[in-house]
A and B are shown apart, each in its own frame.
Chain A
C-alpha cells in the first residue's frame, strides 16, 4: 500500500493562500448580496434577504438569469457534440493540416471576446443571413468560444486512449459506431463532462460577446448585472451572483453524480 504523500509546509501554505484567493471573492459576493444596505458594499451593512427577494421579483434579473441558463445549456450540448467529434478526428487523423485545424478551433479563445463579438456582428450584418441580433447568432458565438474547451479536455483523454479496446469490440462484432458508443464514449465520458462544465460556465458568464451579439428584449445575466452596476450599483447584482454561483456549483455536483452513475451502470453491465 502506498504511503500518503507528505508535503513541505511551504506547499501547504501556498495551497491555502491559493484557496483563499479563489474563495474570498465568492464569499464577498455572497455577503454583499445579503447586505441590509442600499449599495453594493463590503463589508455588508447588516444582513438581510431583501436583495435576494428583489432579485426573485425583478423584471430584469430573473428573466436574464433564466435566459442565461437556457442559452448556456443549449451551448453546452452543441459544444460537447462538436468538440468531441473534432477531438476524435484530430487525434486520430493523419491529415497534414490537423495541427492547423486545431489551431483554428482554438482561435476564439485566443482572440479578445470584444474583438470576436464585433467581428461576428459585422460578419452577420455583411452576409445578411438574419443572424445579427438574433438568438441563433448569439448561440453561434457562444458555441465558438466554448467548443475549444471541450476539444482540449476530450483530446487530452483521447491521447492516451488504447485503441485496442475499440478493436476488441469490433472483433466481437460491434460496428464502428457501436464500438465508439459502448467503449470509447464511456471511457472518455469524464473528459466530456469536464468539457461540458467548462462550456456551461463560460457560456453562462459570457459578457464580451453578448455586448455585440445580444438579442433585443433578451438580456443575459452578466449584461443585466453590468447595467445594474453602471447605473444603480445596488446589491441585486450581488444577489444574482449568489444564484449564479449556486447554479454553477449545482451543475458541477450534478455532472459529477451523472458521471459516477454512468460508471456504476457500466460496472453493473460488465458483471452481467
Chain B
C-alpha cells in the first residue's frame, strides 16, 4: 500500500505533476475561452460534434427536422440531439450554469427569465449578436429581452366562432361582453397566454401593465369563464362550440380556418403583445457547440429556411429582410417597419416579482 512517506519529490514526479496541472488547466481554459468563441458566418466542419437543442416536440420537431436540421447536420458535419422534455428550468438548475443540459434552448418567456434569475445560464445577447450575421437584420423588438433572440412570433388575438357568436369581436373590451358570459375561454394562470391577457388587461383597464388591481377587476369581469391548460385543448373547445370566443394567438386561428372550422379573430390593436419563440445559447457550452449554436441561429433566421418552416405554423419573421410567403400574405401578414410598430413584449422579469400573488388571486377569481 502506498504511504504518504512513499511519495518522493524527484524529477520524474515533478514532470508528471506539471503534465497533470497542464491538462487540468487546459480543460478549464476551454470554458474560459468559450465566451470568446467567434463565428464569421462561413461554413465549417464540426468533426461530428453534437449540438444539443431543447425545443418543442411532435409536429414542431418534425417540421424543424425537415426544413432545417437534416441539411444543417450534413453541411456542418454535426449531429443534433433534440430534447423535447419540457420544462427546461429544472434541468438547467440540476446541472448548474457550468454544466448546461443543452446548448440552445427555445423558451416561453416567463420560464426564460425565471432560469436567468437562478444563475448565469445564458450567453449575453451582446456576445451573441456579433456572431450571427443575419442578426443585423433583426427588428429591435426581437432583441428586447437581452437574453435570447426572438426568431419568430405570433400576435395575440381573440378567436371566435363566426356561426355561434352574436356579433364579431371588434375591440379588446368586446371580450368582456355580457353575452359571452360562460361562453368565453382563457387559460390556467401559469400559461403564458393567460399571463399576457392579464398584463394587457392591466394596461388597458388601468394605468399600466402592472396596475394589478385593474387586472384583477378585469378578470372578475370575465367570470364565468372556461379555462384550458393548453392552446391545443382550447382549439378543441372552440371547434366543439363549448366556448364561443377565446384568448389565442393568430396562427392557431388561421390554422383552424384552413381546416374548415367557422372561426374569425380580432388581433389586439389597443396593445400589441407578442407570443414569441426565443432561443438562448448556454453560456458555458463547449466552444465547438457554441460555434455550432451561432451557425444554427443564423440558419434559422435565413429567409429561405424561415419561410418554409414558418408557413406551417403561420409564424411571423423577426428579420427585416425576410419576405412574407404568398400563403401568409393572403392572411394579411406584412413585415415592414410600419407593421411592427407598437409591438410589445411584456416585462416578465418584473412580472416574476408578483407572479405568486397574481396567480393565486386570479385562480381564486376564476374558481369563484
Would you call B101 and A132 a contact (CB within 8 A)? yes
Q: Which residue of A lies closest to B260 (CB)?
A: A38
Give every chain A residue within 8 A of B260 (Cβ-Cβ).
Answer: 38
B60 at the interface (CB under 8 A from A): yes
Would you call B59 and A232 a contact (CB within 8 A)? yes
Inter-chain contact total with CB atoms closer than 8 Å: 87
B235 at the interface (CB under 8 A from A): yes
B45 at the interface (CB under 8 A from A): no
Give every chain B residue within 8 A of A211 (Cβ-Cβ).
Answer: 85
Nearest chain A CB to B313 CB, angstrom units: 10
B232 at the interface (CB under 8 A from A): yes
B72 at the interface (CB under 8 A from A): no
Nearest chain B CB to A177 CB, angstrom units: 38
How far does the alpha carbon of A121 sit from the alpha carbon of B85 in the complex, in Å?
12
Give every chain A residue within 8 A of B259 (Cβ-Cβ).
Answer: 38
Nearest chain B CB to A115 CB, angstrom units: 11
Give every chain A residue within 8 A of B232 (Cβ-Cβ).
Answer: 228-233
Nearest chain A CB to B282 CB, angstrom units: 14
Would you call A121 and B94 a contact (CB within 8 A)? yes
Contact A39 B81, CB 8 Å, known A59-B62, A133-B101, A229-B230: no
Would you call A125 and B95 a contact (CB within 8 A)? yes
Nearest chain B CB to A135 CB, angstrom units: 13
Give every chain B residue within 8 A of A216 (Cβ-Cβ).
Answer: 52, 81-83
Would you call A219 and B57 a contact (CB within 8 A)? yes
Would you call B239 and A39 a contact (CB within 8 A)? yes
Q: What class of interface size applies to chain B in its complex with A?
A: 20 to 34
Would you call A133 and B58 a contact (CB within 8 A)? no
Give every chain A residue within 8 A of B62 (Cβ-Cβ).
Answer: 59-60
Give every chain A residue within 8 A of B83 (Cβ-Cβ).
Answer: 133, 214, 216
Would you call B84 and A219 a contact (CB within 8 A)? yes
Would you call B94 and A122 a contact (CB within 8 A)? yes
Would you call A233 and B233 a contact (CB within 8 A)? yes
A118 at the interface (CB under 8 A from B): yes
How far does the alpha carbon of A210 sit from the alpha carbon of B261 in the complex, in Å?
35
Nearest chain B CB to A151 CB, angstrom units: 29
Give every chain B residue within 8 A of A229 (Cβ-Cβ).
Answer: 230, 232-233
Given A118-B94, A132-B101, 12 more A-B residue pairs with CB atoms under 8 Å apart are A60-B61, A133-B83, A216-B82, A217-B81, A223-B85, A224-B57, A228-B59, A228-B232, A230-B231, A231-B58, A231-B60, A233-B233
A-B residue pairs, 10 tightest by C-beta: A233-B232, A227-B58, A216-B81, A214-B85, A216-B83, A230-B230, A39-B236, A227-B57, A233-B236, A122-B94
Where the two chains meet, the residues of B that have a C-beta atom closer than 8 Å to any C-beta of A are 52, 56-62, 65, 81-85, 90-91, 94-95, 99, 101, 229-233, 235-236, 239-240, 259-261
